[in-house]
Protein backbone atom coordinates (compact mmCIF):
# COMPACT_ATOMS: atom_id res chain seq x y z
CA UNK A 1 0.00 0.00 0.00
CA UNK A 2 1.69 3.17 -1.17
CA UNK A 3 -1.12 5.56 -0.22
CA UNK A 4 -1.13 7.38 3.11
CA UNK A 5 -4.44 8.48 4.57
CA UNK A 6 -3.19 11.24 6.85
CA UNK A 7 -4.62 9.87 10.08
CA UNK A 8 -8.20 9.82 8.77
CA UNK A 9 -8.48 6.12 9.48
CA UNK A 10 -7.38 3.88 12.29
CA UNK A 11 -5.29 0.77 11.67
CA UNK A 12 -8.27 -1.56 12.25
CA UNK A 13 -10.29 0.30 9.59
CA UNK A 14 -7.49 -0.06 7.04
CA UNK A 15 -7.07 -3.75 7.94
CA UNK A 16 -10.78 -4.50 7.44
CA UNK A 17 -10.85 -2.73 4.08
CA UNK A 18 -7.68 -4.51 2.91
CA UNK A 19 -8.99 -7.93 4.00
CA UNK A 20 -12.33 -7.43 2.23
CA UNK A 21 -10.62 -6.28 -0.97
CA UNK A 22 -8.47 -9.41 -1.02
CA UNK A 23 -11.48 -11.61 -0.31
CA UNK A 24 -13.52 -10.06 -3.12
CA UNK A 25 -10.66 -10.06 -5.59
CA UNK A 26 -10.24 -13.80 -5.15
CA UNK A 27 -13.99 -14.45 -5.48
CA UNK A 28 -15.05 -12.03 -8.22
CA UNK A 29 -13.15 -11.93 -11.50
CA UNK A 30 -14.76 -8.59 -12.42
CA UNK A 31 -12.61 -6.78 -9.86
CA UNK A 32 -9.75 -9.27 -9.63
CA UNK A 33 -7.36 -7.08 -11.59
CA UNK A 34 -8.37 -3.69 -10.21
CA UNK A 35 -5.43 -2.11 -8.39
CA UNK A 36 -5.78 -2.61 -4.65
CA UNK A 37 -5.03 1.08 -4.01
CA UNK A 38 -7.95 2.14 -6.24
CA UNK A 39 -10.39 -0.20 -4.52
CA UNK A 40 -9.07 0.88 -1.12
CA UNK A 41 -9.63 4.50 -2.01
CA UNK A 42 -13.21 3.81 -3.19
CA UNK A 43 -14.01 1.89 -0.01
CA UNK A 44 -12.46 4.36 2.37
CA UNK A 45 -14.17 7.35 0.74
CA UNK A 46 -17.46 5.54 1.06
CA UNK A 47 -16.71 4.59 4.67
CA UNK A 48 -15.77 8.19 5.46
CA UNK A 49 -19.16 9.36 4.22
CA UNK A 50 -21.22 6.79 6.18
CA UNK A 51 -19.28 5.97 9.34
CA UNK A 52 -20.98 8.70 11.37
CA UNK A 53 -24.25 6.82 10.82
CA UNK A 54 -23.04 4.09 13.17
CA UNK A 55 -25.37 3.79 16.15
CA UNK A 56 -23.64 2.25 19.19
CA UNK A 57 -27.04 1.44 20.72
CA UNK A 58 -27.61 -1.24 18.09
CA UNK A 59 -26.44 -4.78 18.66
CA UNK A 60 -23.60 -4.58 16.12
CA UNK A 61 -20.11 -3.33 16.83
CA UNK A 62 -18.45 -0.55 14.84
CA UNK A 63 -16.24 -3.23 13.30
CA UNK A 64 -19.23 -5.30 12.11
CA UNK A 65 -20.97 -2.17 10.83
CA UNK A 66 -17.92 -1.24 8.77
CA UNK A 67 -17.60 -4.75 7.36
CA UNK A 68 -21.23 -4.71 6.22
CA UNK A 69 -20.98 -1.23 4.70
CA UNK A 70 -17.80 -2.11 2.78
CA UNK A 71 -19.19 -5.47 1.67
CA UNK A 72 -22.22 -3.70 0.24
CA UNK A 73 -19.97 -1.20 -1.55
CA UNK A 74 -17.85 -4.02 -3.02
CA UNK A 75 -20.97 -5.88 -4.18
CA UNK A 76 -22.10 -2.67 -5.87
CA UNK A 77 -18.73 -2.37 -7.63
CA UNK A 78 -18.92 -6.00 -8.76
CA UNK A 79 -22.47 -5.51 -10.11
CA UNK A 80 -21.36 -2.33 -11.93
CA UNK A 81 -18.43 -4.07 -13.61
CA UNK A 82 -20.50 -7.09 -14.60
CA UNK A 83 -23.21 -4.84 -16.01
CA UNK A 84 -20.59 -2.99 -18.05
CA UNK A 85 -19.26 -6.31 -19.39
CA UNK A 86 -22.74 -7.59 -20.29
CA UNK A 87 -23.49 -4.31 -22.02
CA UNK A 88 -20.27 -4.57 -24.01
CA UNK A 89 -21.12 -8.17 -24.95
CA UNK A 90 -24.59 -7.12 -26.06
CA UNK A 91 -23.27 -4.29 -28.22
CA UNK A 92 -20.34 -6.27 -29.63
CA UNK A 93 -20.00 -6.25 -33.38
CA UNK A 94 -19.08 -9.55 -34.96
CA UNK A 95 -15.94 -9.64 -37.04
CA UNK A 96 -18.02 -10.51 -40.08
CA UNK A 97 -20.30 -7.48 -39.56
CA UNK A 98 -17.31 -5.20 -39.08
CA UNK A 99 -15.62 -6.56 -42.21
CA UNK A 100 -18.79 -6.09 -44.27
CA UNK A 101 -18.96 -2.45 -43.15
CA UNK A 102 -15.40 -1.85 -44.30
CA UNK A 103 -14.00 -1.66 -47.80
CA UNK A 104 -11.96 -4.85 -47.29
CA UNK A 105 -12.72 -7.79 -49.55
CA UNK A 106 -11.39 -10.40 -47.12
CA UNK A 107 -10.40 -10.84 -43.46
CA UNK A 108 -6.69 -10.34 -44.06
CA UNK A 109 -7.32 -6.98 -45.69
CA UNK A 110 -9.75 -6.09 -42.93
CA UNK A 111 -7.25 -6.89 -40.17
CA UNK A 112 -4.55 -5.01 -42.08
CA UNK A 113 -6.88 -1.98 -42.26
CA UNK A 114 -7.56 -2.19 -38.55
CA UNK A 115 -3.88 -2.43 -37.63
CA UNK A 116 -3.04 0.46 -39.98
CA UNK A 117 -5.87 2.54 -38.53
CA UNK A 118 -4.73 1.78 -35.01
CA UNK A 119 -1.11 2.70 -35.58
CA UNK A 120 -1.49 5.34 -38.25
CA UNK A 121 -4.76 7.15 -37.72
CA UNK A 122 -8.13 6.99 -36.07
CA UNK A 123 -9.03 3.38 -35.31
CA UNK A 124 -12.36 2.10 -36.61
CA UNK A 125 -12.21 -0.94 -34.36
CA UNK A 126 -11.71 0.57 -30.91
CA UNK A 127 -10.38 -2.44 -29.04
CA UNK A 128 -7.01 -3.51 -30.44
CA UNK A 129 -6.77 -6.16 -27.73
CA UNK A 130 -9.73 -7.94 -29.34
CA UNK A 131 -7.88 -8.02 -32.67
CA UNK A 132 -4.81 -9.52 -31.05
CA UNK A 133 -6.87 -12.06 -29.11
CA UNK A 134 -8.85 -12.95 -32.22
CA UNK A 135 -5.65 -13.46 -34.23
CA UNK A 136 -4.37 -15.73 -31.44
CA UNK A 137 -7.59 -17.78 -31.57
CA UNK A 138 -7.33 -18.13 -35.35
CA UNK A 139 -3.69 -19.24 -34.95
CA UNK A 140 -4.94 -22.13 -32.78
CA UNK A 141 -7.01 -23.50 -35.64
CA UNK A 142 -5.57 -26.20 -37.86
CA UNK A 143 -4.61 -25.21 -41.40
CA UNK A 144 -7.69 -26.99 -42.79
CA UNK A 145 -9.93 -25.17 -40.29
CA UNK A 146 -8.41 -21.84 -41.35
CA UNK A 147 -9.01 -22.79 -44.98
CA UNK A 148 -12.68 -23.52 -44.17
CA UNK A 149 -12.96 -20.13 -42.44
CA UNK A 150 -11.45 -18.44 -45.50
CA UNK A 151 -13.73 -20.26 -47.94
CA UNK A 152 -16.93 -19.72 -45.97
CA UNK A 153 -16.14 -16.28 -44.59
CA UNK A 154 -13.88 -14.44 -47.00
CA UNK A 155 -14.94 -16.09 -50.23
CA UNK A 156 -18.57 -16.49 -49.18
CA UNK A 157 -18.90 -20.08 -50.36
CA UNK A 158 -21.64 -22.38 -49.11
CA UNK A 159 -20.80 -25.54 -47.17
CA UNK A 160 -21.53 -27.58 -50.34
CA UNK A 161 -19.16 -25.46 -52.43
CA UNK A 162 -16.45 -25.54 -49.75
CA UNK A 163 -16.72 -29.32 -49.42
CA UNK A 164 -16.34 -29.71 -53.20
CA UNK A 165 -13.36 -27.36 -53.31
CA UNK A 166 -11.66 -29.19 -50.42
CA UNK A 167 -12.59 -32.64 -51.79
CA UNK A 168 -14.21 -33.67 -48.50
CA UNK A 169 -17.75 -34.51 -47.47
CA UNK A 170 -20.19 -31.92 -46.15
CA UNK A 171 -20.19 -33.83 -42.85
CA UNK A 172 -16.44 -33.25 -42.58
CA UNK A 173 -16.92 -29.51 -43.12
CA UNK A 174 -19.72 -29.41 -40.54
CA UNK A 175 -17.57 -31.37 -38.06
CA UNK A 176 -14.69 -28.92 -38.56
CA UNK A 177 -17.10 -25.99 -38.16
CA UNK A 178 -18.25 -27.47 -34.86
CA UNK A 179 -14.60 -27.69 -33.72
CA UNK A 180 -13.95 -24.12 -34.85
CA UNK A 181 -16.96 -22.95 -32.85
CA UNK A 182 -15.68 -24.87 -29.80
CA UNK A 183 -12.29 -23.14 -30.04
CA UNK A 184 -13.93 -19.73 -30.35
CA UNK A 185 -16.33 -20.56 -27.50
CA UNK A 186 -13.49 -21.69 -25.20
CA UNK A 187 -11.74 -18.37 -25.79
CA UNK A 188 -14.93 -16.33 -25.40
CA UNK A 189 -15.13 -15.27 -29.04
CA UNK A 190 -18.28 -17.10 -30.17
CA UNK A 191 -19.96 -13.74 -30.83
CA UNK A 192 -17.53 -13.18 -33.70
CA UNK A 193 -18.80 -16.18 -35.66
CA UNK A 194 -21.74 -16.11 -38.02
CA UNK A 195 -24.72 -18.21 -36.90
pLDDT at 40: 93
Task: Examine residue 166 and state whether it is found in any structural domain, yes or no.
Answer: yes
What pLDDT, in 10s, does the model give residues 10-44?
A: 899 999 999 999 999 998 888 888 899 999 999 99
| Whether 100 and 80 share a structural domain | no
Q: What share of the chain is helix, strand, coil (3-state, %, to 5)?
A: 70, 0, 30
Local structure of 72: helix, strand or coil: helix
Query: pTM of this prediction?
Result: 0.46
Rounded to 5 degrees, what are φ and ψ at 9?
-130, 145
Whether 51 and 57 have beta carbons less than 8 Å apart is answered as: no
* End position of a domain, from candidates 90, 106, 130: 90
Parent domain of 173 = 95-192
Question: Based on the domain organization, do 161 and 99 belong to the same domain?
Answer: yes
Number of domains, the chain: 2
> Are residues 177 and 103 part of one domain?
yes
**98-154 residue pLDDT tens:** 666 666 666 666 666 665 554 444 334 445 556 667 777 777 888 888 888 888 877
Boundary residue ending a domain (90, 125, 152): 90
Q: Are residues 62 and 106 in the same domain?
A: no
At which of 57, 90, 123 does a domain end?
90
Amino acid sequence: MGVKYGGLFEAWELAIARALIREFQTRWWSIAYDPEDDLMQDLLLHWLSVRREFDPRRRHSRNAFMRQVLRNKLFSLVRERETERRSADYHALSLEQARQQSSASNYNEFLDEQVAAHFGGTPEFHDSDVQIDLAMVVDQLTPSQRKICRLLGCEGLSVNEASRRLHVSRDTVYRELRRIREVFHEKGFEAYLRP
